[in-house]
Amino acid sequence: MRERIAELISHVSEPHRRYKSFEEKTGIKAKTWQNIVEGKQKANHEHLEAIGKCWPEFAYWLITGKTDEEHGHTSPILERIRADLKRAGRAG
């Protein structure tokens, strides 16, 4: 779960202030997210609920590690691949 939270933070936050940016979006302190990513703290229901409210399309993936695109459940990795393919299509 920690790795998926880190992936999500990286995907939706500004690189130079990722934890602060995530705090602004979720309402949970930046230091808490940093502690979760660094393995100093475990994510609890409050953290998962905040993510699910902000990014419902990633909630299933966050909990299970799986996607279900047929039902609108994706992952940051798939979103990045889609964006790369779009850019490659425009470039080629």
Q: How many residues in the chain?
A: 92
Domains and CATH numbers, the chain: 2-91 (1.10.260.40)
Nearest to 79 by CA among 52, 61, 54: 61
Phi/psi for 73 (5° steps) reads: -100, 115
The fraction of the chain above a pLDDT of 70, given in percent, is: 97
Residue 92 has pLDDT above 60, yes or no: no
Alpha-helical segments (H) within the chain: 2-12, 18-26, 30-37, 45-54, 56-64, 76-91
- When pLDDT is averaged across residues 50-56 and rounded to a whole number, the result is 97
- When pLDDT is averaged across residues 16-35 and rounded to a whole number, the result is 97
Tokens 């979103």 label which residue?
79
- When pLDDT is averaged across residues 44-73 and rounded to a whole number, the result is 95
The CA distances from residue 33 to 18, 45, 81, in Å, are 10, 13, 25
